[in-house]
């Protein structure tokens, strides 16, 4: 049955259904409803909800809970995600699985609380120190966001990696009909063979992110890199919308992509053949596929709610095969369909 749900609620409920019973978080707009939903809901499913004293604490609570091999998550918005970067680096080094929701808002600094996509670099290139990566998923509808939660946990555990769901204030605050995913039976979730549960009848296990011997640390790093390579080879996800006959392909993700879908239709009514290429995994970025399809088009237009972050990956993919243009607004200002259409017309001329 479809229910009219707010983005934050759909994500929270889907996470619980995906087997998450441990949530740590600190209120921040525009995602506090997610925290509040968990405060109400976790006790009902015998889970744990804890409001931490700060995002620095949150991420370390996550570190601890993740060490026990359970499905754990948090949610925050840009300034809070910045504070979590230290812990994220430590968790990546310790190969701990966890899911982060970043409901992006305008920055930098305190910025504002309106929708934005300006944390792309931070999420995909690593906001913390060290050679690490995290899987970054960018759903564009509430249904997709709800569906992706189970996948996020599965990927986190399969690869022992952190997964970030990168959405913005619009997806967080809007309502849409959602068919909630099936319940995962948490009894069936296997305890990972690295989990710290007390060394009863087995050798003690260690979870750390350090080795003072550089050659040993290098070995650890090479292991991370091998994992990242496997992820890049196997887990790239994207959507193609009306690209078969397109002269212009717009590359956009999340909220911006759904706006572009509307724009593509109106552009076609005016005789401009526009398609959309929508990365769903921002890391690993769909370089190969974008490279391939960019060969046959006149223009690639990257549209973002930032002043140009994903465009760097788009340019890497296109690698000079065709023109790459940009349109974007940031700071919490969302480009309207008409503005994007204008940008398209400009390059179509």
Closest to ligand TPP by CB, 74 vs 141, is 74
Question: Do the Cβ atoms of 150 and 183 come closer than 8 Å?
Answer: no
Name which of other proteins, ligand TPP, none residue 160 binds, using a CB cut-off of 5 to 8 Å depending on partner kind.
Answer: none
- In the complex, the residues that contact other proteins under the rule CB under 8 A are 2, 4, 26-30, 32, 35-36, 39-40, 43, 49-51, 53-56, 79, 109-110, 112-114, 169-170, 173-177, 255, 258-263, 265, 334, 336-338
For ligand TPP, the binding residue among 25, 80, 97, 106 (CB under 6 A) is 80
For residues 256 and 303, give the distance between their C-alpha atoms in angstroms, rounded to a whole number.
7
For ligand TPP, the binding residue among 48, 79, 236, 339 (CB under 6 A) is 79
Tell how many helices (H) and how many strands (E) occur in the chain: 13, 14
Q: Reduce the DSSP state of residue 209 to 3 states and report it.
A: coil
Closest to ligand TPP by CB, 52 vs 221, is 52
163-to-65, 96, 99, 137, 212 alpha-carbon distances in Å: 15, 10, 5, 7, 27
Give me the residue whose beta carbon is nearest to ligand TPP.
28
Closest to ligand TPP by CB, 55 vs 119, is 55
Closest to ligand TPP by CB, 110 vs 226, is 110
Could you tell me which of 239, 5, 3, 268 has the C-alpha nearest to residue 139?
A: 239
Name which of ligand TPP, other proteins, none residue 296 binds, using a CB cut-off of 5 to 8 Å depending on partner kind.
Answer: none
For ligand TPP, the binding residue among 12, 28, 148, 161 (CB under 6 A) is 28
Site stretch for ligand TPP (CB under 6 A), options 20-28, 235-243, 256-264, 332-340 = 20-28
Site stretch for ligand TPP (CB under 6 A), options 42-50, 75-83, 128-136, 284-292 = 75-83
33-to-5, 9, 41, 166, 192 alpha-carbon distances in Å: 12, 7, 12, 16, 32
Closest to ligand TPP by CB, 50 vs 83, is 83
For ligand TPP, the binding residue among 50, 83, 189, 195 (CB under 6 A) is 83
Task: Report if residue 168 touches ligand TPP, rule: CB under 6 A.
Answer: no
- Letter string b/e over residues 228-246, b meaning 16 or more CB atoms within 10 A of that residue's CB: beebbeebbeebbbbbeeb
Burial class (CB in 10 A: 0-12, 13-18, 19+), 210: exposed
Task: Report if residue 34 touches ligand TPP, rule: CB under 6 A.
Answer: no
Helix axes 7-17, 142-159, angle to 10 degrees: 40
Name which of ligand TPP, other proteins, none residue 4 binds, using a CB cut-off of 5 to 8 Å depending on partner kind.
Answer: other proteins
Left (φ > 0), alpha (ψ -120 to 50) or beta: where does 19 sit? left
For residues 267 and 278, give the distance between their C-alpha atoms in angstroms, rounded to a whole number.
17
Q: Where are the alpha helices (DSSP H) in the chain?
A: 7-17, 32-44, 55-67, 78-83, 85-93, 120-121, 142-159, 169-173, 214-234, 254-269, 287-294, 311-318, 337-348
Question: Do the Cβ atoms of 113 and 129 come closer than 8 Å?
Answer: no
For residues 28 and 72, give the distance between their C-alpha atoms in angstroms, rounded to a whole number.
19
Task: Report if residue 56 touches ligand TPP, rule: CB under 6 A.
Answer: no
Task: Report if residue 98 touches ligand TPP, rule: CB under 6 A.
Answer: no
The answer to whether the peptide bond before residue 30 is cis (omega within 30 degrees of 0) is: yes
Task: Report if residue 119 touches ligand TPP, rule: CB under 6 A.
Answer: no
Site stretch for ligand TPP (CB under 6 A), options 76-84, 126-134, 195-203, 214-222 = 76-84
For ligand TPP, the binding residue among 13, 33, 55, 313 (CB under 6 A) is 55
Name which of other proteins, ligand TPP, none residue 150 binds, using a CB cut-off of 5 to 8 Å depending on partner kind.
Answer: none
Name which of other proteins, ligand TPP, none residue 259 binds, using a CB cut-off of 5 to 8 Å depending on partner kind.
Answer: other proteins
| List of residues contacting ligand TPP (CB under 6 A) | 26-28, 55, 79-80, 83
């Amino acid at each position: 049955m479809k229910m009219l749900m707010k983005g934050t609620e759909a994500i929270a409920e889907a996470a619980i259904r995906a087997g998450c019973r441990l949530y740590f978080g600190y209120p921040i707009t525009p995602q506090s409803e997610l925290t509040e939903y968990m405060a109400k809901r976790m006790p009902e499913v015998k889970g744990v909800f804890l409001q931490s004293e700060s995002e620095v604490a949150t991420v370390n609570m996550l570190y601890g809970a993740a060490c026990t091999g359970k499905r754990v998550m948090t949610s925050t918005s840009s300034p809070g995600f910045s504070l979590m970067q230290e812990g994220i680096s430590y968790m990546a080094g310790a190969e701990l699985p966890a899911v982060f929701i970043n409901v992006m808002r305008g920055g930098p600094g305190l910025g504002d609380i309106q929708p934005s996509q300006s944390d792309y670099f931070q999420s995909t290139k690593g906001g913390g120190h060290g050679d690490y990566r995290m899987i970054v998923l960018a759903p564009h509808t509430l249904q997709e966001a709800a569906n992706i939660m189970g996948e996020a946990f599965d990927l986190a555990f399969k690869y022992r990696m952190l997964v970030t769901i990168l959405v913005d204030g619009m997806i967080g605050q809007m309502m849409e009909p959602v068919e909630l995913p099936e319940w995962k039976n948490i009894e069936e979730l296997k305890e990972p063979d690295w989990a710290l549960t007390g060394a009863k009848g087995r050798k003690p296990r260690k979870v750390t992110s350090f080795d003072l011997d550089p050659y040993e640390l290098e070995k650890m790093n090479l292991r991370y890199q091998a994992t990242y390579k496997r992820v890049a080879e196997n887990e790239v996800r994207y959507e193609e919308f009306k690209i078969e006959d397109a002269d212009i392909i717009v590359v956009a993700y999340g909220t911006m992509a759904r706006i572009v879908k509307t724009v593509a239709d109106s552009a076609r009514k005016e005789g401009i053949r526009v398609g959309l290429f929508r990365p769903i995994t921002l890391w690993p970025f769909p370089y190969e596929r974008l490279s391939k399809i960019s060969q046959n088009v006149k223009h690639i237009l990257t549209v973002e709610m930032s002043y140009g972050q994903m465009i760097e990956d788009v340019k890497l993919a296109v690698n000079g095969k065709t023109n790459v243009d940009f349109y974007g607004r940031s700071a919490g200002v969302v480009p309207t369909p008409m503005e994007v259409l204008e940008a398209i017309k400009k390059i179509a001329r």
